[in-house]
Amino acid sequence: MFEKKSQGDKTDTNRMEFSDWLWLLAVAGIGSANRINHLSTQVIMGDEMHALYRALLHPMIYNFTHFQSTDNCIPLTLYYQWVLNSFGLSEAWMRFPMLLSGTISLILIPHVLGKVFGRAVGLLLAFLLSFSLVHIYYSRFARPYVIVQLLEFIAMASYFVWLKRPRVKFALIYAISIISAIFFHLSAILFLLSTQFYGFAYMLWSGKIRSRSDHTRPTWNMFWGIVLAVTIGLALLLGPAFFFSYGNLEQILGKGKFDWATVSGYAAILAGTNNVILKSIFFLFSALGLYGLFKKYIVLGIYALFLIFLPLVMAILVHPYKLEVPFLCLCVIPLGISL
């Protein structure tokens, strides 16, 4: 999938067999059970109330065209209103989009990465992901973070494949997924910029080594076409909200801080623990995984570095309000999972 095979290689050794799918579905079932276990005892509170308040206080057209300083998610607000007006909103319906996205992630992410690194790796990843505390937590949390994580992973994979094989379907998958991710949470803009920076650098590098008869790489017209399509899509979805509530966005930008608490919080969210020893073990294995990635797929390793560090650098420069939590690190969770 991520590497072009030779013409003589007609087999795909990483193709999922029927028994592999059975194992994957079984593990996904276990992971889903972990995500709904005792869910009925979990109370809606805190940040989960932002979208609910907006859904109750304002009409749908207002919620589509306005951001709030409380950082409500426009799509979730509209979803709550639709459910509320259709057949009544309950805590189960509030958490349903996140639970669904978390379950899809249990199948899709291991399947995609299994095609790159092998079936055994994909199944092992599915097992680890099904018991991932941070993923379980955000799959039960009525905020859009696990949805954004899934959409960013789809965008990450499809854009990398498009750079290798510039087909329209990969470009469409990337554009739709990254636009949707930003619509759910504005922090995904950092992920968009990171993929585009990588794509620009890749185009410059590949242009130096590509012959004129080589049609296996995207052209500059294709590259700028994707940029234009994403820009138009974002303008249509978010243009009204930016226009009518820019003042609320100004309250978010430039109000955060970056210190040791930020670094510690970032590490805790990625590792799923505040324990120093466990965090150290997590990042040690991540570093070893990144080293192995560079040894086997150097281009994919460079791509991973772009998507890990560029969002962090840009978040530090912009330092939005509540950076110290920090929720912006969710844009690199796909890379933390893949490593």
pLDDT confidence band for 252 (50 / 70 / 90):
low
Q: Express each pLDDT in 106-141 by its tens digit.
A: 989 888 888 888 888 888 888 888 888 878 888 888
Distances in whole angstroms, Cα of residue 100 to Cα of each of 24, 47, 108, 306, 312: 16, 20, 12, 29, 28
Q: Kindly report whether the global pTM for this prediction surpasses the value 0.75.
A: yes
Q: Express each pLDDT in 279-316 by its tens digit.
A: 888 888 888 888 888 888 888 888 888 887 787 777 77
Nearest to 229 by CA among 176, 280, 189: 176
User: What's the chain's length in residues?
Assistant: 339
pLDDT confidence band for 9 (50 / 70 / 90):
very low
246-253 long-range Cβ contacts below 8 angstroms, 24+ apart: 248/66, 248/67, 248/68, 248/69, 249/67, 251/69, 251/321, 252/69, 252/71, 252/320, 252/321, 253/318, 253/320, 253/321
pLDDT confidence band for 235 (50 / 70 / 90):
very high
Nearest to 335 by CA among 312, 310, 305: 305
pLDDT confidence band for 336 (50 / 70 / 90):
low
- Show me where the domains of the chain are located: 15-143, 144-339
- Residue listed under structure tokens 């909103």: 89
Q: What are phi and psi of 211, to 5 degrees?
A: -85, 165
> Is pLDDT of 7 > 70?
no
Question: Strands, DSSP E only, in the chain?
Answer: none
CB 316 within 8 A of CB 258: yes
Q: Average per-residue pLDDT in the chain?
A: 81
Lowest mean pLDDT among 88-92, 174-178, 209-213: 209-213
Question: Strands, DSSP E only, in 112-255?
Answer: none
